[in-house]
Amino acid sequence: MARAATSQRKVLNTALAWAVGFLIFFPILWTILTSFKTEAQAIASPPIFLNFDWTLENYAVVQERSNYMRFLWNSIIIAGGSTILGTIIAIPAAWSMAFVPSKRTKDILLWMLSTKMLPAVGVLYPIYLLFIKMGLLDSRAGLVIVLMLINLPIIVWMLYTYFREIPGEILEAARMDGATLKDEILYVLTPMAIPGIASTLLLNFILAWNEAFWTLNLTAANAAPLTAFIASYSSPEGLFYAKLSAASTMAIAPILILGWFSQKQLVRGLTFGAVK
Amino acid sequence: MKLANVLRAATAMSVITTCAAYAETLTIATVNNGDMIRMQGYTEDFTAKTGHEVEWVTLEENVLRQRVTTDITTKGGAFDIMTIGMYETPIWGANGWLVPLDDLSAEYDVDDILPAMRAGLSHEGTLFAAPFYGESSMIMYRTDLMEAAGLEMPDAPTWQFIREAAAAMTDRDNEINGICLRGKAGWGEGGAFITVTGNSFGARWFDEDWNAQFDQPEWAEALNFYVGMMEESGPPGYATNGFNENLSLFQQGKCGMWIDATVAASFVTNPDDSTVADKVGFALAPNSEGVDKKSNWLWAWALAIPAGTQKADAAKEFIEWATSKEYIELVAGNEGWANVPPGARTSLYENENYQSVPFAKMTLDSIQAADPTNPTVKPVPYVGIQFVAIPEFAGIATEVSQEFSAAYAGQQSVEEALEKAQAITNDAMEAAGYR
């Protein structure tokens, strides 16, 4: 009896998990489906789910109108560059906070996180003026720096939480064997923390890929990533939902595939510290 | 002889190097709409004529507005040409942020620009942006439903007739709403529509001393009329409907009438997208009985050169090309007269080929009926029909339209919304130093 009840609960939980998963994925599925409809089918009421004449016309129009590869390349450079740079800076910072804490460490961590609470538009003008003076406007280098700074608190927090799970005694043993600080971080700590670093890299790559305030406001023609590509298909006067959906699908496809193949690491990264 | 050859060679070299140095790459910020996208497809024609290359930055309207405002106020120089509207042009021109377009070539024929457009894009008589296309607003209605209701649409109907016709066309069982109008919050969405409706009831935003006028009977009459008519004959949830939502409803045959931008005419008559393409008639925007002001607005998307650019000469060449008579002929030759950018040039409306386009005459009549310097019955201290051309307006009107939308949604009464609008507007104007 008890086994039957457990099995029933398992089925129920699985069904519930699938239902919630489908609910969360539905907007993405709907966007993908809409991208294969005509504009008239896209706005049809009641909405058409699967029973429509599938067309690739929207993708052809988007390909013809926009240089997708240039936007994609910019997204890869900006998201990848900011994530790697951020991680290089965050590893020593997280090391010092995890293994050599001072009485102010917690305050510093909280202060770092508090910078995320400031509405981005509040610092738009100062950053814009700095970018003009430094010649960084509409440059990939400028966006790499800005996105790295924006995501740095999250990277430090994630790595700090992960490093704290590594016993300090191992590092002490390495020191006793004559390891320098550099050796300790590079050859002892980093290899042990590789799963944590990987999930941090992945999550921050996704955050940087999806960032749409700075990437729209600090770029023009040269450094515009896929967020600008999507924005160019949104129109308040005219129904171009099918084309917008095609552009959105093309923009999210790379990150969706990356997320699909690395979901284990992602889940692990997102649940750091939740279960000990 | 030798000297002559040397001189010839030197001249040839200088011509080549001058041309090479002169060829620029222009960065143009623009909105995503049919006419602008079409222009991007003809960029090669401009490059072939001038040697200048063009990089397009296409953005959604609100994003574009924020993006170009940031750039122009900081003199960032990210763009060489910006697509801006009638609201921004006179304000930015007055601030010295735009390059004056007072030396356009004789072939361009600046006097051919429709007077209402030219006035709206100038400051103290100086043109600061060239109109790429212009629009007003008008009534689009279902001829079959009107006939079935036993009514005939006059060329210039009153609001009272529109309300009566809307009630007659409404068929809730078949999801047909007699009238679809904007109710969505936002100064350029529902805010623009209710402002022109107010004009046609004799209401105004400000008196001559910049005092808000929402406590006057004209506003109460206009807003009560709008809410009453929409409750009788409007679609459910109209408080959140903007241009696109109403376009979608009309194209699916769910609206008897729709009063909105003249640019919508080409969408609703396009058989590829609209189920009612062959059953659409047009009429001038209405006015209340006894009020000599119609509820039509005036807008233009225009090309302007920010003062921060280093490529003003090449930018002027582009503007002359994109807003020229030749460009209109280029589009007409390839895509037909119905697809040329409307509402900018007088010569277009004198063209016999264009006169056969079904919505051409009504668009011109609507544009000509709009007077930005004299938008309502009583005198006003501002310029603008669906907006007030002062920098503070966008913020104030967005807040006011939020209050109005809350009244449309039944979250508060019309009287409460008007009281709040009065307080919001007067407070903001006082803080800005107008009062």
Whether B404 contacts B395, CB under 8 Å: no
Torsion (CA) B361, B367, B369, B372 in degrees, nearest 10: 180
Q: Do A151 and A261 fall within a single domain?
A: yes
pLDDT (tens digit, 9 = 90+) per residue, B218-268? 999 999 999 999 999 999 999 999 998 999 999 999 999 999 998 888 889
Residue with tokens 């090669």: B44
Q: Do B260 and B388 fall within a single domain?
A: yes
Q: Is residue A251 part of a domain?
A: yes
- Diameter of chain A measured on Cα atoms: 74
Chain A residues lying within 8 Å of B261, measured CB to CB: 237
Whole-prediction pTM: 0.84
Residue B70 makes CB contacts below 8 A (sequence gap 6+) with: A124, A125, A128, A217, B76
Give the structural domain span for B396.
137-296+369-431
| pLDDT score at A276 | 43
Residue A231 makes CB contacts below 8 A (sequence gap 6+) with: A212, A216, B58, B59, B60, B63
User: Once rounded to an integer, what is the mean pLDDT over residues B310-320?
Assistant: 96
| pLDDT score at B19 | 45
Closest CA to B182 of B276, B98, B250: B250
Measured between alpha carbons, how far is B130 from B322 in angstroms, rounded to an integer? Answer: 9
Last residue within a domain, chosen from A36, A59, A82: A59
Q: Do B281 and B383 fall within a single domain?
A: yes
More confident residue, B289 or B339: B289
B37–A220 C-beta distance less than 8 A: no
* Count of domains observed in chain B: 2
| pLDDT score at A195 | 84
Q: Do A37 and A171 fall within a single domain?
A: no
Q: Is residue B31 part of a domain?
A: yes
pLDDT (tens digit, 9 = 90+) per residue, B403-419? 999 999 999 999 999 99
Among B58, B254, B262, pick the best mutation site for testing chain A contact (most A Cβ within 10 A): B58
B62–A239 C-beta distance less than 8 A: no
Q: Do A116 and A52 fall within a single domain?
A: no
* Count of domains observed in chain A: 2
pLDDT (tens digit, 9 = 90+) per residue, A237-274? 777 899 999 999 999 999 989 888 888 777 776 665 54
Q: Is residue A215 part of a domain?
A: yes
Q: In Å, how far from its chain's centre is CA A69?
A: 20
B27–A217 C-beta distance less than 8 A: no
Measured between alpha carbons, how far is B137 from B292 in angstroms, rounded to an integer? Answer: 17
Q: Do A77 and A122 fall within a single domain?
A: yes
pLDDT (tens digit, 9 = 90+) per residue, A179-206? 998 899 889 988 888 888 988 999 899 9
How many alpha carbons fall within 13 Å on the CB side of residue B320? 18
Q: Do A28 and A104 fall within a single domain?
A: no
pLDDT, averaged across chain A: 90
User: Once rounded to an integer, what is the mean pLDDT over residues A104-122?
Assistant: 90
Q: Do A25 and A154 fall within a single domain?
A: no
Q: Do B106 and B28 fall within a single domain?
A: yes
Measured between alpha carbons, how far is A160 from A143 in angstroms, rounded to an integer? Answer: 25
pLDDT tier at B2, thresholds 50, 70, 90: low
Q: Do B270 and B379 fall within a single domain?
A: yes
| pLDDT score at B357 | 86
For chain A, give the DSSP string: -HHHHHHHHHHHHHHHHHHHHHHHHHHHHHHHHHTTS-HHHHT-SSPPSS-S----HHHHHHHHHS-HHHHHHHHHHHHHHHHHHHHHHHHHHHHHHHHS--TTHHHHHHHHHHGGGS-GGGGHHHHHHHHHHHT-TT-HHHHHHHHHHHHHHHHHHHHHHHHTTS-HHHHHHHHHTT--HHHIIIIIIHHHTHHHHHHHHHHHHHHHHH--SHHHHS-SSSS--HHHHHHTT--SSS--HHHHHHHHHHHHHHHHHHHHHTHHHHHHHHTTTT--
| pLDDT score at A194 | 87
pLDDT tier at B1, thresholds 50, 70, 90: very low
Q: In Å, how far from its chain's centre is CA B232?
A: 29
Give the structural domain span for A165.
67-269
Q: Do B169 and B27 fall within a single domain?
A: no
Chain B residues lying within 8 Å of A119, measured CB to CB: none
Measured between alpha carbons, how far is B425 from B428 in angstroms, rounded to an integer? Answer: 5
| pLDDT score at A239 | 78
| pLDDT score at B12 | 54
Measured between alpha carbons, how far is A91 from A156 in angstroms, rounded to an integer? Answer: 7
Q: Is residue B361 part of a domain?
A: no
Residue percentage of chain B with pLDDT more than 70: 95
Beta bridge partners of B131: B302
Task: Answer yes or no: is pLDDT of B306 > 90.
Answer: yes
Closest CA to B65 of B42, B49, B89, B44: B89
Task: Answer yes or no: is pLDDT of B3 > 60.
Answer: no
Measured between alpha carbons, how far is A39 from A36 in angstroms, rounded to an integer? Answer: 10
Measured between alpha carbons, how far is A40 from A42 in angstroms, rounded to an integer? Answer: 5
Measured between alpha carbons, how far is B58 from B31 in angstroms, rounded to an integer? Answer: 5
At what angle are helices A241-261 and A57-65 packed, to 10 degrees? 90
Q: Do B200 and B314 fall within a single domain?
A: no
Q: Do B287 and B315 fall within a single domain?
A: no
pLDDT (tens digit, 9 = 90+) per residue, A157-182? 999 998 998 888 898 999 999 899 88
For B233-292, give the DSSP string: HSPTTGGG--HHHHHHHHHTT-EEEEEEETTHHHHHT-TTT-TTGGGEEEEEPPB-TT--
The chain B residues in contact with chain A (CB within 8 A) are 27, 29, 31-34, 37, 40, 55-63, 66-67, 70-71, 74-79, 188-189, 242-244, 247-248, 251-252, 254, 261, 263-264, 267, 272-275
